Chains A and B, each alone.
Chain A
Amino acid sequence: MTPPGRPRPRVGSFEQLLAAKEIVICCGAGGVGKTTVAAAAATMATLSLGGSVLVLTIDPARRLADALGLEALGNAETRVPTEVLERAGIENPRGQLWAAMLDTKQSWDDLVRSHAPNPHTAQRILENPLYQNVSGRFVQSHEYIAMERLYEIHRSGRYDLIVVDTPPTRNAIDFLAAPDRMADFFSSRLLRWITGPGRSRVVNLATRPFYQVADRLLGSQFLEDIAEFFLLFQTMYPGFVERATAVKRLLHDRRTTFVVVTTLEAAPVREAEFFLSALADQKFHTGALVLNKVLPAYLIDPQAARVSERLAVAAPEAVATAGLADAGPPETVARVLREVGESFANFEVVAKREAELRAELAQAAEVVVSVPSFETDIFDVAGLLRLGKAIWES
């Protein structure tokens, strides 16, 4: 499909951006299509840029995960088989496409094992009931672990390009702060204070006002459980802080770029704008803005709008005299034409709103890509290829 010696990527294109980077992080509000955009970009990079390309995804639709050959659980990186690519019409890709899914629990367990001072402590942490909660629902645990895993994979040197899909956060900016938050958490005075030296720390605590309030609320057994958990967890402090710093450095590296994905609806756009300004404030590299699921341009064509207005008032008499008798009874034809006209007017309202938002966002990034709204769901490599080509050619 891709002849050797093909032309160099267009300057200022999405393709050129990917050609120059090692890590591409896709972010944006939930439901805007981050996962499919990430997978489509990775597919296109495999096709035209070559090398080993990995898409690291968080929560793909079942059918897409199946299409990429991903297992339901586990962190394993899987190569997308050549047959799967061939079925989608990709005959001689220049590179290899790999896919991996993030298993948060598994990643946390691995992290504990590698940072705990010894296997015994690791085991005690893994068995602590509070750990289950921390690993599952720790503030920003998904965000942190996604970046941590990215760091780990990048460091392995196995891939030329890693495209990452970020977890759906309440606030897309959260994961940028996650490494800092993690370091803060471990270096917090409160943690050291709770887990301070002395074997009777809980007894010591009992004299503190905070403890007295907390004891009234929660009971001392519960507090002791918490204290023990933190004490164990703190043994991992040096490893965690060092790693969080390294993860942060990687995110700021010039080989890393951020791609903000949004649809042209009010709420996701607001989040995208917020995210773009946060990236700029914190001096991250914003490579591209992808406007996803955009309605077709013909919906804002003034000529088409005039046609739709006429059709919306099409009278049966006019229809009867216009040579449309073969299509059906005049009343039915008039009704259908009216429906067609009104439907266009409806979608025109939405398309105009989208055009307005697109104009506002146009200055936000070096590369702004518009991707059409596909009429059917994207659940296989052929679909990804269709989406990817739209990104490439936009």
Chain B
Amino acid sequence: MSDGWDSAPSDRVTVPLLDRRLLLVTGKGGTGKTSVTAALALLAAQHGTKVLACEVDAKGNLADFYETSRLDFKPREVQRKLFAMSMSTEESLQEYLRLQLHLPAIARIGPLARAFDFVATAAPGVREILTVGKLAYEARERHYGLVVADASASGHVIGQLVAPRAIDELVRVGPIHDQTGWMLDVLGDPVVTGLVIVTTPEEMPVNETIELVQRVRAETDVDLAAIVVNRVLPELFSRVDEEVFERLREPAMASAVARVSGGDDAATAAVFEAARLAVTLRRTRAGHLDRLREAVPSEVPMLFVPYLFTRGHGLRTTAQTAEALSAELGY
């Protein structure tokens, strides 16, 4: 959205978002993190980049946003140049053992998986590093021009981002220790990796975003690439128009409006009430956005995706979101 939000310039992108090779998308649950992941990947693919979209939570619904069947660990082309996969720490461990340690594929993964589950329960970062490691590996190997991950929600993403460092400190020797170095390099390089936080202009999502921005800066080396503000309501009126709107709502005028509209007073009042609701909702949210803009470093771009007044969700919505992001990114 290019209208409104004068206090929120979105033209200070340092490393262009889609020129990076790994984008980790996070945000509070319910803000549309998966939708933005799907849209960013689609947008890059539409511009000719070979893209891998990965959902980190196996219970996620990334597949719905491309209207395709359930995703697996093995990537599948779901749109032209766009591949999608679902993370599995177990299969990631298998792949790791095979590729990095040259261990033969283990026929019966069951016992190993249970043992692994058990260790991973207590040991910080073991589960996380298999997720982050796989993503960093794909970015390093350049099998894809861009990897976009629907990462964990804001409450857990820090744990994922710091996993290589945590492992580095806990495990002093051995092949795993040797692996963490390059992962830290990949994650810490702003040319390669960027974190995208998705929020909506509401109180709790904005609070959580502000807190996350501070934690990302304090606890990780990962570059904050952008904040996507999702479901932004349109600005109905300019200031002049709003004065006219207020006059039209006065009882004397309302009847005249009812004559123009051919409806009765009650129906006309309802239509006006709906507009007033839209104005109030937007105004409440604008306050939260101002707070967000103040708390976020000015070099971090904020991208606005309008509220989509659509019937459903699915590929159509993903395409519309991609279009909105495209306009924001100047593509």
Please report A residues at the B interface, Cβ cutoff 8 Å: 29-32, 61-63, 130, 133-134, 137-139, 168, 170-171, 185, 188, 190-191, 194, 210, 213-219, 221-222, 225-226, 229-230, 266-268, 270, 296, 298-299, 301, 303-304, 306-308, 310-311, 314, 318-319, 322-324, 326-328, 332-333, 335-337, 339-341, 343-344, 346-347, 349-350, 353, 373, 375-377, 379
Contact = CB atoms under 8 A, between A and B. Distances in A.
A188 B118 contact: yes
B115 interface: yes
A306 B262 contact: yes
Contacts of A343: 234, 236, 274-275, 278
B122 A304 contact: no
B57 A170 contact: yes
A352 to B, nearest CB: 8
Given A31-B30, A221-B172, A222-B171, A322 B122 contact: no
B155 interface: yes
B245 to A, nearest CB: 5
Contact of B237 (A217, A339, A376): A339
Interface in B37-85: 57, 59, 61
Nearest to B100: A217
A327 B245 CA distance: 8
Given A214-B115, A339-B275, A133 B261 contact: no
Given A213-B97, A304-B268, A337-B261, 19 more contacts: A31-B28, A63-B203, A133-B123, A138-B122, A213-B103, A214-B119, A218-B123, A222-B123, A298-B270, A298-B274, A307-B262, A311-B261, A311-B271, A324-B257, A326-B253, A341-B271, A343-B278, A349-B311, A377-B284
A215 B29 CA distance: 37
Contacts of A137: 124, 156, 159
Given A307-B267, A349-B309, A336 B61 contact: no
B280 to A, nearest CB: 4
Nearest to B258: A307
B300 interface: no
B293 interface: no
Interface in B242-278: 243-245, 247-248, 253, 256-264, 266-268, 270-275, 277-278
Given A133-B122, A377-B203, A306 B263 contact: yes
Interface string B172-207: 111111000000000000000000000000111101
A328 B170 contact: no
B206 to A, nearest CB: 10
Contacts of B14: none
Chain B contact residues, majority secondary structure = helix
Contact of A349 (B57, B159, B310): B310
Contact of B260 (A133, A222, A319, A349): A319
A370 B234 CA distance: 26
A388 B273 CA distance: 23
B248 A324 contact: yes
Nearest to B203: A377
Contacts of B119: 214, 218, 226
Contacts of A350: 309
B143 interface: no
B102 to A, nearest CB: 11
A170 B150 CA distance: 13
B153 interface: yes
A134 B313 contact: no
Interface in B128-148: none
8 contacts: A29-B30, A138-B121, A303-B267, A314-B260, A324-B257, A336-B241, A337-B261, A339-B236
A121 B294 CA distance: 48
Given A307-B268, A339-B275, A343-B275, A30 B30 contact: yes
Contacts of A188: 118
Given A31-B205, A133-B122, A218 B253 contact: no
A114 B159 CA distance: 29
A332 B248 CA distance: 11
